[in-house]
Structure 1
Amino acid sequence: MTKPRTVFTDADSDTDSGVETAPPVHDLVGIGLGPFNLGLAALADPISELDCLFLEARDRFDWHPGMLLDDATLQVPFLADLVTMADPTSRYSFLNFLKQTGRIYPFYIRENFLPHRREYNHYCQWVAEQLDSVRFGQQVVSVEHDGEAYVITTASDQGDQAQTHRARRLVLGTGTAPHVPEPAREAVAAEGPAIHSADYLARKDELVGRSSITVVGSGQSAAEIYLDLLTAQPDHDYQLAWLTRSPRFFSMEYTKLTLELTSPEYSAYFQSLPAEKRSDLLRSQQSLYKGISGDTIDAIHEALYTRSVSGAAETTMLTNTELRGVTRTETGYHLALHHVEQEEDYEMSTEGLVLATGYRAGVPAFLEPVRDRIRFDEQGRYAAGPTFSVDHGDREIWVQNGEEHTHGFVAPDLGMGAYRSSVILAAVLGREPYPIEKRVAFQEFGVPDRFRVMSDHSQTEPTEESR
């Protein structure tokens, strides 16, 4: 196989000699273009002294296309767009998108702070189309360091040539990948209607043609898919099941004092805890960010109730159920299950299987040549510092949504994206182009200094009577 020819992009070439010179060095290159790096690109755009480039493998921006259901909304208000929480005057705000597309009055009359997920995707596409710093169709294949700068090599969709970009700094926004539990990996890898929720809409027509469908998962995606299939069930006459390992169908906690945990103060407190304590906390906090919206739960119950007026719905909902194995059969799949509380094994069969089992962060293989420049923890995860930096000097490489284990459950929260971008830009520039809030919560986390027990050095010697 012939190695692709390297093409230096944005380069000044010597036309007389035919010699290609090295490409210019960008101040910052972002790799991956989800909402977080897109927000960083939008906030960096007005900063004249900053030369940025953002690379994305896909041909256009698309945010979880497999879950862009018609009625699905974000779980955060429209203020949690790409830029507003950092710069409410930005031309890239969601409200400006509505104004420029003639939709601001319908949104106002709707009186609902939660945008539709498809609408949010259109908004992000609108922003991406306006940014000269964004390059689509650029699959990063390697990142090296030449002693002066990072060298990022990309391949086009055709794979017939490589392009090279150079940067003083990197921001990794490669996001998370669909997670398939080990017992189901072989089934999902093979042909057949066993899919991850990320592919739901693309495979929905195939699923609803089956006589039975089982959804596995505990969070919002599982609930939305179950509701969508429940709604479509009368037209296709399949049996429908929903299995969750959780002891109940948890609703997301959305009270105001709980929301204060998505704050800079709590994130700083979380970072100060030992790694083991952070892991325990994340497990205990799953209902705060992996639960189901109350509206979705209510809609499911209303659909079930409405169906029950005419007779029992062909559906099964099981909690405390752990998936232990998946075996392919002639018509579908045999599921080996375990009831966690009763400690009993049981089984069921299904023709279609949807795994709404979430996403996991990872370290891209293209970083291997510069792995020695990156800080990792004992489990091989990014060891992100307070400014989201992961390089040893805290001034060259930053990560977006790869630091849940160090910064807490705010890592994937859209509402904190603009804050994180503000912190990264301040670290790059040595100043705050956007004011960074230091305190937003009424409550305090940890032991306040004013209540700490005085150290031995500051205490007076005990008297004879006190002895």
Structure 2
Amino acid sequence: MKTYDLLGIGIGPFGLGLAALAEPLDDVEAVFLDQRDGFSWHAGMLIEGTTLQVPFLADLVTMADPTSQYSFLAWLKATGRLYQFYIRESFYPLRAEYDQYCRWVADQLPALRWGRQVTSVVRVADPGSPGGYLFEVSAETPGGVEKYCAKRLVLGTGTQPRLPAHLQGLDGAGPVVHTSDYLPRRAALAAAGSVTVVGSGQSAAEVYRDLLDGCGTGPGEHRVDWVTRSPRFFPMEYTKLTLEMTSPEYTDHYVGLPIEQRDVLGREQRNLYKGISGDLVDDIYDTLYRKSALGAEVPTTLLSDTEVVAARFDADGAEGAGEYVLTLRHAQLGRVAEHRTRAIVAATGYAASVPEFLAPGLVNLDHRGRYAVMRGYTVDDDRRIHVVGGEEHTHGVTAPDLGFGPWRSSVILADVTGREPYPVERRIAFQQFGLPAAQGDPQAEPAARAEPAAQVEPVETDDLEVAR
């Protein structure tokens, strides 16, 4: 059986970027597996006109290799859109453009294997390999089971849509939709007559804004409401010194903090990368203002600091058509009220978990069953299993940041090759994030690591947001 230097499981943007950076390297033979039939990035949220919240430089490869043939600018040139993008004078690509760009890159990479559902990952003895073993990966395909051997693994399995327990299993006539499935269900949502968006952040705002166009009292129009437990409809913080937190130095600082403190910071810092773009906040307000200027009351309500604590379906409501009844609790007032709606969109984020296909003891876990990720993005004692995109709880704001993905890929490929095929910047920030006397070697691993958990349980991400 052929042995690969690197085997990736899961091909999202981070896995795809790693594959693109590995492809030109003569000393890295890699293969990447994914259970889907091809690349797709948030297909349910490719709403017309929506843009990324990061500049085009935050593509798959540019921050590691600006000369790469797999850059966003290279895609624009190859598709005849470079001058149009130039004249547009915006750093922020359309979300649909980013998806098309990623598909273009994926089509060029021979290392990608689609339609492979990984079912097991185990160690197999191999005296000639470091540590005396290799990783054997089994994957189900339409043609049967395939097996692969590799010296190193990269886990990029991503997250799954999360629907809160009280929104699950509602037996009603109208749709209950997670944002990940929004576009295919948009027509059914609008036809329901009234829609309530539950959640916060960019995805909730984009869905609300999209539904707002059809909001009214005329024929074929609908009501739309937005309920969020967030204290306000907060914008993503985008000042330059704050952006320095997406840096190697801040990641060094964050990794060195106690687990409990990191968990607190993770929630406190959500507006740094999980807020709404300021332009979208303003556009929502301007749309409401424009609609209200026509003289009629706009059939919409925006409720902040309000949590949905229970839900049921009332078959006798809404003139026999039935309604969902949401029990809302206002945090500041401490009071509850009922809200009726015929359809629900849940912008309630995604849940991360450790894949079941990993053999017991293969990776290290913390006391909450999450990956215990070391500074160099490894999760095993021999530092041969890497994680991409699953380290938000250990590495902070850089983990989900598209622009920091190439930096992480550079670190992983340096580990794989024993050299730096792509230079790894150690210092990019003007500020210091700790006391000077407390700063150590920026490449050093944290001194302590949480003990492995006895049982692996799914761990939810912040349920206000869609992790990107």
Q: Does 1:358 align with 2:349?
A: yes
CA-based RMSD of the aligned residues comes to 1.5
2:220, 2:399 → 1: CA distance? 39
Q: Does 1:93 align with 2:77?
A: no
2:27, 2:412 → 1: CA distance? 15
Match of 1:338, SS state, is: strand
Q: Does 1:183 align with 2:166?
A: yes
Q: Does 1:445 align with 2:424?
A: no
Contact 1:373 1:392 in 2 (8 A): no
Q: Does 1:391 align with 2:380?
A: yes
Partner deviation per Cα, 1:93-124 (whole Å, 9 max, x = no partner)? 00001001100000000000000000000000
Equivalent in the alignment of 1:146 = 124
Match of 1:233, SS state, is: coil
Going from structure 1 to structure 2, the CA distance change for 1:54 and 1:451 (only over 3 Å counts) comes to closer
1:274, distance to aligned residue in structure 2 (A): 0.5
Equivalent in the alignment of 2:331 = 340
Write the mapping of 1:25-40 to structure 2, written as runs, cut at 5 A: 25-40=3-18
Partner deviation per Cα, 1:242-262 (whole Å, 9 max, x = no partner)? 001011100110000000001
1:450, 1:118 → 2: CA distance? 45
Q: 1:375 aligns with which of 339, 352, 364?
A: 364
Going from structure 1 to structure 2, the CA distance change for 1:322 and 1:124 (only over 3 Å counts) comes to same
Contact 1:214 1:352 in 2 (8 A): yes
2:81, 2:151 → 1: CA distance? 40
Write the mapping of 1:417-432 to structure 2, written as runs, cut at 5 A: 417-432=405-420
2:37, 2:274 → 1: CA distance? 30
Q: 1:265 aligns with which of 239, 249, 261?
A: 249
TM-score under structure 1 length normalisation: 0.89
Q: 1:239 aligns with which of 219, 223, 226?
A: 223
Partner deviation per Cα, 1:168-217 (whole Å, 9 max, x = no partner)? 111001111112222222339x8850111100001111111112100011
Equivalent in the alignment of 1:457 = none
2:418, 2:311 → 1: CA distance? 53
Write the mapping of 1:47-446 to structure 2, written as runs, cut at 5 A: 47-147=25-125, 148-156=133-141, 158=142, 161-187=144-170, 192-234=174-216, 236-310=220-294, 311-330=296-315, 331-367=322-358, 369=359, 371-394=360-383, 396-446=384-434
AA in 2 matched with 1:433: P
Match of 1:300, SS state, is: helix
Going from structure 1 to structure 2, the CA distance change for 1:294 and 1:451 (only over 3 Å counts) comes to closer
Equivalent in the alignment of 1:44 = 22
Equivalent in the alignment of 1:13 = none
Q: Which has the larger helix fraction?
A: 1
Contact 2:196 2:227 in 1 (8 A): yes
Equivalent in the alignment of 2:318 = none
1:361, 1:451 → 2: CA distance? 31
Following TM superposition, the consecutive aligned residue runs of length 4 or more in structure 1 with deviations greater than 4 angstroms are none
Partner deviation per Cα, 1:338-392 (whole Å, 9 max, x = no partner)? 000000011111110000011222111111x2x3121110001001111100011
Contact 2:197 2:347 in 1 (8 A): yes
AA in 2 matched with 1:399: V
1:121, 1:362 → 2: CA distance? 25
1:40, 1:192 → 2: CA distance? 42
Aligned length: 424
Going from structure 1 to structure 2, the CA distance change for 1:424 and 1:307 (only over 3 Å counts) comes to same
Partner deviation per Cα, 1:136-180 (whole Å, 9 max, x = no partner)? 111111112222321111112x4x621111111110011111122
Match of 2:280, SS state, is: helix
Partner deviation per Cα, 1:408-437 (whole Å, 9 max, x = no partner)? 022111010000000111111111110000
Contact 1:425 1:433 in 2 (8 A): yes
AA in 2 matched with 1:146: V
Write the mapping of 1:10-29 to structure 2, written as runs, cut at 5 A: 23-29=1-7
Contact 1:33 1:55 in 2 (8 A): yes
The structure number with the bigger radius of gyration is 1
Contact 2:27 2:417 in 1 (8 A): no
Partner deviation per Cα, 1:256-285 (whole Å, 9 max, x = no partner)? 000000101001100111111111111111
Provide structure 2 residue ranges, at least 5 long, that are not aligned to the other structure: 126-132, 316-321, 441-468
1:317, 1:268 → 2: CA distance? 39
Equivalent in the alignment of 1:460 = none
1:76, distance to aligned residue in structure 2 (A): 0.3
Question: Does 232-241 or 169-178 show the bigger shift?
Answer: 232-241
Contact 1:58 1:136 in 2 (8 A): yes
Identity of aligned residues (%): 52
TM-score under structure 2 length normalisation: 0.88
Match of 2:170, SS state, is: helix
1:233, distance to aligned residue in structure 2 (A): 2.4
1:185, 1:362 → 2: CA distance? 19
Question: Does 191-200 or 49-58 show the bigger shift?
Answer: 191-200
Match of 1:236, SS state, is: coil
Equivalent in the alignment of 2:464 = none
1:451, distance to aligned residue in structure 2 (A): 10
1:309, distance to aligned residue in structure 2 (A): 0.8
Provide structure 1 residue ranges, at least 5 long, that are not aligned to the other structure: 1-22, 453-467
